[in-house]
Amino acid sequence: MIDFLTSPDHYKHWKISFNGRVASLALNIKEDAVISEGYELKLNSYDLGVDIELNDAIQRLRFEHPEVGAVIITSGQERIFSAGANIKMLGQSSHADKVNFCKFTNETRNSIEDASDYSGQRYLCMINGNAAGGGYELALATSHIILVDDGATSVSLPEVPMLAVLPGTGGLTRVVEKRRVRRDRADFFCTTGEGLRGKRALEWGLVDELASRSNLENAAFKKAESLAKLSDRPSDSEGILFKDLERKISRNSIRYKHVTVDYDRELRSATIMIIAPIEVPPKNIEIIHAQGCDFWPVAMARELEDAILHLRFNEPELGTWILKTSGASQNIAAADQAMYDNSDHWLIREITLYLKRTFKRLDVSSRSIIALITPGSCFTGTLMELALSADISYMLDGTILDSDIEPATVRLTNMNFGPLIMCNGLSRIESRFLCDNKDISKIRDKIGEDLTATEAENLGIVTFIPDDIDWEDEVRVAIEARASFSPDALTAMEANLRFGGPETMESKIFSRLSAWQNWVFLRKNAGNSLQLYGSGKKPKFERERI
């Protein structure tokens, strides 16, 4: 089982240090500390285990260290930054493992950019040795790249000429979209295995600054200090500690405090239930801060994120995720209101951004998502995002026979109109109606109202509203149909339908780049190249352009 829970005490590959308002993350790979057997992590190359630690470190820096305004990413090894993803690891991995690995590393890189763009915690990269492939892609995720100018150190994306694959963690997209490198120069850069050094790398925009080896650390720290001064993060506030997540995993279920997951292996589905807080969440920021990671939105996001990652990597045959909620809607509404009222506080900002990133993980997961809204559900505000993220949603119209539970309702809050945007830059409601302002204005007018099934259907925020007589059959048919279709066709269809509207750098990475890399990984050319790498043998390519 691949486990995504870790902490700094258990890191094998990263070292965190602090100097005033500047933190440093140094990559110093322990070669034999691999996530599976059959390879060693030479030249600061990495596997999934390295990125699991990096993801944890990024989260903790945001929540546990509000005083940090800038983070330097560098290497703890002499004259080597990172050789990127370990090739032997990729060569022996299954197709699913390769694709999931690229997706997770992309999400980790995106979280670096999210911190720089929205958290006031700017990342920069100090490249003290060769940065190749995924190593340079890690640098590309930062806001400022300083390269040692020693005549030997280079940056490169050698995947196409050397491995017959693509820079799978956003390299192509970030070079032209983020760094605005001219297309012809980018083409040359991505087809030369040795990469570019010093002056030319700077002139072409592949790095932002050069420094001699003797002045490299000083130049990086000065730049980090200048970025930290621009941050609005408080230097005199305490962070909140991420305690160990309580979790019980069995063959057919996962149990957290606020999230449960149950498997139906015959129907190849997983039912994810999110449970509302039993008590009304606090609205006072001092009490919220004191609750720390026990504050319901934080606790729920941590649990849901872990469940999503666990299902992605460890349960690939559970192709349909069924989303349910349970509990008091007013408690969700109260939590949303507390976050809205304190939205200018650094901690609330981080919680909101964490929820945004967690729901994005749901959006880009290669699973069919069905939301079921029944009496006792609490699809309100933040949790209404689950229904809006679903490929299809069913809401029971009326009550269940012989039940005294009130009919299901849904409720919108301010959280549904901007704070939790998708990777296309739109809220899920905007994405649903592709910015039809007339429809969106009607929906916004309903903020705070408990909407019946008929009202929700008329507004277009649910798909179907069967009554008690038809409910069981319609839901069963929908789930059984999903289990009968080709998983590959469903993945492609869903990814095409989920991200309508404008393209952003992030949506291009997940929809365009990921689709092509997925396809490339299946081809014999890539398979042969990855397996022959380091053997001295040259691969023989199939020459047809497909």
Domain presence at residue 517: no
Q: Is the dihedral of CA 306, 312, 316, 317 positive or negative?
A: positive
> Same structural domain for residues 186 and 293?
no
In terms of residue numbers, what domain contains 387? 248-498
Q: Tell me the pLDDT of the chain (546 aa) as tens digits.
A: 999 999 999 999 999 999 999 999 999 999 999 999 999 999 999 999 999 999 999 999 999 999 999 999 999 998 999 999 999 999 999 999 999 999 999 999 999 999 999 999 999 999 999 999 999 999 999 999 999 999 999 999 999 999 999 998 899 999 999 999 999 999 999 999 899 999 999 999 999 999 999 999 999 999 999 999 999 999 999 999 999 999 999 999 999 999 999 999 999 999 999 999 999 999 999 999 999 999 999 999 999 999 999 999 999 999 999 999 999 999 999 999 999 999 999 999 999 999 999 999 999 999 999 999 999 999 999 999 999 999 999 999 998 877 888 999 999 999 999 999 999 999 999 999 987 777 899 999 999 999 999 999 999 999 999 999 999 999 999 999 999 999 999 998 998 899 888 999 999 998 888 888 888 998 899 988 999 888 888 888 889 888
> Same structural domain for residues 190 and 271?
no
Q: What is the pLDDT of residue 512?
A: 81
Task: Name 49's Cβ contacts closer than 8 Å, sequence gap at least 6.
Answer: 12, 13, 33, 34, 35
CATH number assigned to the domain comprising residue 20: 3.90.226.10
Annotated catalytic residues are: 137, 159
> Same structural domain for residues 219 and 333?
no
Domain presence at residue 271: yes
> Same structural domain for residues 59 and 92?
yes
Planar angle of CA 77, 83, 87, nearest 5 degrees: 135
> Same structural domain for residues 193 and 53?
yes
Which of residues 460, 477, 498 is at a domain's end? 498
Q: What is the pLDDT of residue 218?
A: 98
Domain presence at residue 137: yes
> Same structural domain for residues 458 and 493?
yes
Domain presence at residue 298: yes
Domain presence at residue 536: no
> Same structural domain for residues 309 and 216?
no
> Contact 39/88 with Cβ under 8 angstroms?
yes
**For 407, which DSSP code?**
P
Q: What is the pLDDT of residue 306?
A: 98
Place of tokens 């539970």: 405
Which of residues 197, 229, 261 is at a domain's end? 229
Residue 283, helix vs strand vs coil? coil
Q: How many domains does the chain have?
A: 2
Which of residues 202, 229, 256 is at a domain's end? 229
> Same structural domain for residues 144 and 195?
yes
- Distance from C-alpha of 324 to C-alpha of 54, rounded to nearest angstrom: 31
Q: What is the pLDDT of residue 487?
A: 93
> Same structural domain for residues 470 and 417?
yes
> Contact 162/211 with Cβ under 8 angstroms?
no
> Same structural domain for residues 288 and 146?
no
Domain presence at residue 357: yes
Write the DSSP string, 3-38.
-----GGG-SSEEEEEETTEEEEEE---TT--SSSS
> Same structural domain for residues 309 and 195?
no
> Same structural domain for residues 313 and 221?
no
Q: What is the pLDDT of residue 438?
A: 77
Domain presence at residue 505: no
Q: What is the pLDDT of residue 495?
A: 87
Domain presence at residue 237: no
> Contact 254/261 with Cβ under 8 angstroms?
yes
67, containing H or E segment: none
